[in-house]
Chains A and B, each alone.
Chain A
Amino acid sequence: MINEVLHTLPQVLIDGLTLGAVYAIVALGYTMVYGILELINFAHGEIFMTGAFVGTAILLTFAGFGWLASMPALVALVLVLVVTSVVTGLLGMGIERVAYRPLRNAPKLITLITAIGVSFLLQDIVRFIAELKNGNYILTGPSLFSGQIGIKVSSISSIFNDASVKSSFFIVLIVAVIMMVTLDFFVNKTKWGMAMRAVAQDRETAALMSVNVNKVIALTFFIGSALGGATGVLFAIQYGTIDPYIGFILGLKAFTAAVLGGIGNIRGAMFGGILIGIMEMFAAANLPVISHGVLGAEYKDVFAFAILIIVLIFKPEGLFGKVSVEKV
């Protein structure tokens, strides 16, 4: 059994890392908004989904005009990522302005229900537009990076099977890492990042320091949603086919990742995302083996949510939750 698990380990790690990077960045959006508003922005999964659609739509348009063939794939990618980020960033900002800001002082539950409402609204709007334009709400975009790269892991040790990677794997991973490093730098090393942390810790006092709190909250939504939307594009590139409901389960898992890393903690969310991605792929590959066929690979999702429940019970502040050292 151990041997079988080891055989597939390289592939599990590669797939898990890719998926985990996706979770990680979506988790950032949850954790940033939670950190600043103590709101679980359920619509964030749908922002991700909208990003996937916007990106795919742009790629299909390019392909329709025949531009895609004449343009280096990397240029197309960067273009699509930038445009999609701006679109979803503005969308997130708009949602905050219209749906959440008027409820800023309302009970948390009301805002939460509003967020769920926004989720459904986005699903339906995207579905409606996709069907209108396309006749079908399931969309398959042109593939930008379709090559397969084999990695001869077996040459390291015969315990391992060879792994194979779509070349888009590297794209997803590199873009994800760039986004995470940039965000980390922004939050920890720049003035507006510092303002963001200050507002998250004490909104009233930040305002006394001449920080425009509404502006900082809007900025937080813009950044979180831009990253989420860009990740949607990466997802579409990596996995090909998308529908308006991909944001739901993925959002829940990313949220789990955020909780795992300690909700509100940015580096924790990155770590939690990667961890959940790898564990999920591990479960998918090995559950049937370990359980002697009783549990199929489809139980991998249960796995992520079991983690959520276990964390909430035993370590509700998450792996890297804020330690309460604050003095009054």
Chain B
Amino acid sequence: MSLLRLEDINTFYGGIHALKGVSLEVNEGEIVTLIGSNGAGKSTTLKTISGQVKPKSGKIIYNGQDITNTPPHVTALTGIAHVPEGRRIFPRLTVKENLEMGAFSVKDKRVIEERMERVFHYFPRIKERLQQKGGTMSGGEQQMLAIGRALMMQPKLLMLDEPSMGLAPIIVEQIFEIIKELNEEGMTILLVEQNAFQALQIAHRGYVIQTGEIVMSGLGKDLLVNEQVREAYLA
């Protein structure tokens, strides 16, 4: 069943036509990856979904509802969590406060604590650093915190923008493991990556975006062995 569907989305930054008729679909329970090189429009796709930028035309259907022009703070309430590119941890909030921000819409303190325990289960390292300022964490820790913060929203759809960026291979490995684990427990995931090889390995399906257009799509394992994909992104 389709959880998220983009229909012919066109997004502009002033005169720059960043998304040129993007259509894609994410089904419930899937890991879908969107791969492409620098400036292809991957982040813009996620920003358009979460409402940070408004598309000029096209439709975004989530869970049967039209969320095309929904502002980001409302999109977040519908169960879409967006882990932005570059992690964007609140640098001068403590790690604990960063997590609490993820659960901003939750009133019940007990629920917040339960969710936090769940985050510690995935990222035990966060638990040891609760009182530290977010900005003083290492890159890998910040990425874990950014994902943990998104998990505090208990999203139905988790969108990750280049979680592997700038991280050591072993940390990337860990993070992709956790993405897989989250998915196996039922979370739907839309994963944006330049690291196409690793993304395609865990993804059920993938889309390839090039200068604002989807140029290819298919099963993760098929794209992984596709000649063109190998040449352009896996070389």
A-side residues, CB < 8 A to B, are: 191, 194-195, 197-198, 201-202, 204-213, 322, 325-328
* Interface pair B90/A205, CB less than 8 Å apart: yes
Task: Pick from A202, A204, A209, A213: contact of B153, CB below 8 A.
Answer: A209
Distance A207 CA – B76 CA, assembled complex (angstroms): 8
- B88 / chain A contacts, CB cutoff of 8 Å: 202, 204-205
- A197 / chain B contacts, CB cutoff of 8 Å: 90, 92-93, 97
- A206 / chain B contacts, CB cutoff of 8 Å: 90, 101
Distance A261 CA – B140 CA, assembled complex (angstroms): 33
* Interface pair B91/A213, CB less than 8 Å apart: no
Distance A213 CA – B82 CA, assembled complex (angstroms): 17
* Interface pair A207/B97, CB less than 8 Å apart: no
Residues 134-145 of chain B, each 1 if its beta carbon lies under 8 Å from chain A, else 0: 011111001000
Tell me if B2 is interfacial: C-beta within 8 Å of chain A.
no
- B105 / chain A contacts, CB cutoff of 8 Å: 210
17 contacts between A and B (CB under 8 A): A191-B104, A195-B104, A198-B90, A198-B101, A205-B88, A205-B90, A206-B90, A207-B73, A207-B76, A208-B72, A208-B82, A208-B84, A209-B101, A210-B105, A325-B135, A325-B136, A327-B135
B-side residues, CB < 8 A to A, are: 50, 52, 71-74, 76-77, 81-82, 84, 86, 88, 90-93, 97, 100-102, 104-105, 133, 135-139, 142, 149, 153
- A210 / chain B contacts, CB cutoff of 8 Å: 73-74, 76-77, 104-105, 153
Interchain Cβ contacts within 8 Å, total number: 78
**With A191-B104, A328-B86 as given contacts, are A207 and B72 in contact (CB-CB < 8 Å)?**
yes
* 4 closest residue pairs by CB, A with B: A210-B76, A326-B91, A207-B72, A205-B88
Distance A204 CA – B76 CA, assembled complex (angstroms): 12
CB distance from A155 to the nearest CB of B (A): 47
- B149 / chain A contacts, CB cutoff of 8 Å: 209
Residue of B nearest to A207 (CB): B72
* Interface pair A205/B84, CB less than 8 Å apart: yes
CB distance from A328 to the nearest CB of B (A): 6
Distance A67 CA – B204 CA, assembled complex (angstroms): 77
CB distance from A4 to the nearest CB of B (A): 46
Given contacts A207-B52, A208-B72, A208-B82, 19 further A-B contacts (CB under 8 A): A194-B101, A197-B90, A197-B92, A198-B101, A201-B90, A201-B91, A206-B101, A207-B72, A208-B50, A209-B101, A210-B76, A210-B104, A325-B91, A325-B135, A326-B135, A327-B91, A327-B135, A327-B137, A327-B142
